[in-house]
Amino acid sequence: MGFKRLAPIYRILAFGLVIAVIGCSTSDPLRPEGRIIPISASESRFDFPVSTLASAGRFNLYASDNGEYLEETAQWTGRTFKDGEAGLLLSEAKAGPPLADPTDPAASFDLWPMLRGKTPAFGDVRQTQNALGKADWQRAAIGTAACVLFVQRWAGNASITNGSRYATLSGYYCNPPGETLSAEAAEQVIKALDLRAGPKRQ
């Protein structure tokens, strides 16, 4: 099935993946005041066992001062040409839409510094069931990389949203450069997505 060229639909608020500093306050005028802190893999809620992600992930947590918003991010970057790379963003809100709430996989493209500025060629949107429910995903050719982008959204499911009313999980995975990513392989990546239980939000 051929790929369709699409420009990113809109620029969504991007989490500070590469500029986070321990205990730093946010300065984004579109984001409520809060703090961004690095966390360890064991503190992260993400469970994403994909064998080509050879490097240790970098994990960050943002919490707004007003207690309304919580975001967690993870980023895996390739250390060698044999490594894949990936990014995950879990955005939660107590009373309304999360800060990052892409409606489809293509809309999440511009969230990621590693992808931003590149020209993707997207395939058709597909849907797969994983441990968290139904996930929408699209394969994309991005330069020499073959990738899959995905989005899952929930409302009112406290077992997933960790006490928040709404939550959106979005992200991407790219194969090592030059390697193809079949629809079957992309679907296996989506099926690998899961979340561990986190501390109950007040």
pLDDT one-digit tens code per residue, 114-124 = 888 889 999 99
CA dihedral over 63, 64, 70, 72, signed as positive or negative: negative
Q: How far apart are CA 143 and CA 132, in angstroms?
A: 31
Q: Tell me the pLDDT band of 6, cut-offs 50, 70 and 90.
A: very low
Task: Count Cα atoms within 13 angstroms, Cβ side, for 113.
Answer: 11
DSSP state of 12: P
- Model confidence, pTM: 0.82
> Is residue 46's pLDDT more than 60?
yes
pLDDT one-digit tens code per residue, 141-168 = 998 889 999 999 987 665 666 666 789 9
Stretch 39-55: mean pLDDT: 89
Tokens linked to 160: 């997933």
Output the pLDDT for position 160.
65
Task: Please list, in sequence order, all residues whose beta carbon lies within 8 angstroms of the beta carbon of residue 193, skipping any fewer than 6 positions away.
Answer: 47, 48, 88, 130, 131, 132, 135, 150, 152, 169
9-13, 59-63, 72-76: which range is least confident on average?
9-13
